Amino acid sequence: MRAHFAFIESNTTGTGKLAVERLVAQGQQVTFITRQPGKYPFLAKLAGSPGLQVLEADTNDQEAMDACVRALTARTRVDALLTFSTFYVPLVARLAARYGFRYLNPDAARICHEKHEARRVLRDAGLPTPDFWLVTSEAQALQVSREATYPCVVKPTAESGSTGVRRVDTPEALLAHYRSLASRRVNERGQPLAGEVLVEGFLTGPEFSVETVTLARGDTRVLGVTRKHLSAPPHFVEMGHDFPAPIADSERQALERAVVAALDAVGFDLGPAHTEIRLCAQGPVVIEINPRLAGGMIPELVRHATGIDLLTVLLDQLLGRPVDLTPRQKATASIRFLTASGTGRLAAVHGVEDARQEDGVREVSVDKAPGVSVRPPESSGDRLGHVIASGEDRAHVERAVTQALERIRFDVVAPEAAA
């Protein structure tokens, strides 16, 4: 019997796109609820597919979504409610609890989504955490600018993809970035913002993420550790990932223990999590817990490296089916993201087919078409595409992904030339 999955929004590429495409191809029933159908190019490509229904609704209005899900479940059987967008995890968690779907509990979803709340919970649990301040006014920002140790990090309390995250080195820079963030009235999904800003102590040390699947509260399975490659300060854009991370067993175990303790502290009880963490001189310190599958194509790296399909694991969990987390192979996988080196209009892309010919390269994707505006990366939304390579030899994989990346060139017309 085919299953019916009801999506409330998604990311526009990556695992959300893959999930919808896969379910439609399998003949499953998919209802995709969104306030902006045009935001998803993959929906247009799948238009007319049997089993796919797109419902337009105000997904930023909780009462409207309650009515939408209530009406949907009244007229047809729905087996799973889900989202692949960070911004809608708390909403889906509340609706899932109300209508009896399997999902992460609402309290854990809210704590993970609200970065300042996660900081408080981890601190109160006795876990290492940097100094932090929730700033809600100009006067408070001025006070924090005097108290903070520099450099420090200023960021939104509930965003995604490194949007608005900036290292600042002076009180003046802190105040300027606070004002910039506090002036924003809505996020990229049109959800209202409260003008709250989080200031944190700057953590030194390499950054990683730990990919996990929680079967029940207190029963979290670690799939592995991912090494991150970040852009230069002041931004923290992820430019690449390696899975599994090439680190000593003692470091890996310390990172894994810290993340499992953090998930237990926030009450995590079901599903995948992507927890970002730094390995500091004093030990691992959690940056944030993302209560969802990792972005940045990390689930694809896990699949290439271990044979474990995290997308299948997630869908099976939501349906209440047993999940198989047994590795089927032992390899390594890397991704590097394509970015623009200058600001302007993308005029042309070269070398994509040459990049695909590199031995070990599994995927080359350019996600931006000529004519769009581009800039050096300040958030993940500025990335232009990616290259994935995998294999048994780590050195060969890293060489392949680097060489493929170097084969791709972007012609960018500067703003004054394009005018």
CATH of the domain at 379: 3.30.470.20
Query: For position 40, which CATH number holds?
Result: 3.40.50.720
In a domain, 53, yes or no: yes
**Average pLDDT of the segment spanning 230-242:** 92
Assess whether 211 and 304 both reside in one domain.
yes
Whether pLDDT at 381 is above 90: no
Please give the pLDDT value at position 387.
98
**What is the distance between the terminal CA atoms of the chain, rounded to a whole angstrom?**
57
* Whole-angstrom distance, CA of residue 232 vs CA of residue 29: 44
Asked whether residue 343 falls in the same domain as residue 357, the answer is yes
Q: Are residues 158 and 84 in the same domain?
A: no
pLDDT score at 233? 87
According to the model, what pLDDT value does residue 418 have?
Answer: 52
> Residue 46 — very low, low, confident or very high, per pLDDT cuts 50/70/90?
very high
Do 143 and 153 share a domain, yes or no?
Answer: yes
- In this predicted structure, what is the pLDDT of residue 193? 83
Looking at the structure, tell me whether residues 289 and 219 fall in a common domain: yes
Mean pLDDT of the 373-384 span:
93
pLDDT digits (tens, 9 = 90+) for 58-96: 999 999 999 999 999 999 999 999 999 999 999 999 999
pLDDT for 189: 87
Structure tokens at 26: 């399998």
Residue at a domain's end among 330, 350, 384: 330
Verify that 228 and 339 share a domain, yes or no.
no
- Model confidence pLDDT, tens digit, residues 306-343: 999 999 999 999 999 999 999 999 999 999 999 999 99
Same domain, 313 and 339: no
Residue 119 falls inside a structural domain = no
In a domain, 118, yes or no: no
Phi and psi at 223, nearest 5°, equal -90, -25
- Same structural domain for residues 339 and 380? yes
**What CATH number is attached to the domain comprising 151?**
3.30.1490.20
* 272 domain residue, yes or no: yes
Pair 321, 211 in one domain: yes
Mean pLDDT score, 112-129:
97
In a domain, 114, yes or no: no
Say if residue 194 is in the same domain as residue 235. Answer: no
Among residues 182, 201, 220, the one where a domain terminates is 201
Which residue among 185, 201, 217 closes a domain? Answer: 201
* Whether pLDDT at 393 is above 90: yes
More confident position, 187 or 45: 45
Q: What pLDDT, in 10s, does the model give residues 167-210?
A: 999 999 999 999 999 999 888 887 888 889 999 999 999 999 99
Q: Is residue 112 part of a domain?
A: no
- With respect to residue 121, please indicate whether it lies within any of the assigned structural domains: no
For residue 2, is pLDDT > 90? yes
- Residue 123 falls within a domain, yes or no? no
pLDDT at 219 over 70: yes
| pLDDT band per the 50, 70, 90 thresholds, residue 218 | very high
Question: 282 and 378 share a domain?
Answer: no
pLDDT value, residue 162: 73
Residue 81, phi then psi, degrees to nearest 5:
-115, 130
The verdict on 93 and 142 lying in the same domain is: no
Residue 274 confidence (pLDDT) above 90: yes
Q: Residue holding tokens 């796919």?
A: 52
131 pLDDT higher than 80:
yes
Residues spanned by the domain of 385: 331-419
What is the domain count for the chain? 4
Instruction: Give the strand pairing for 80-82 and 4-8.
Output: parallel
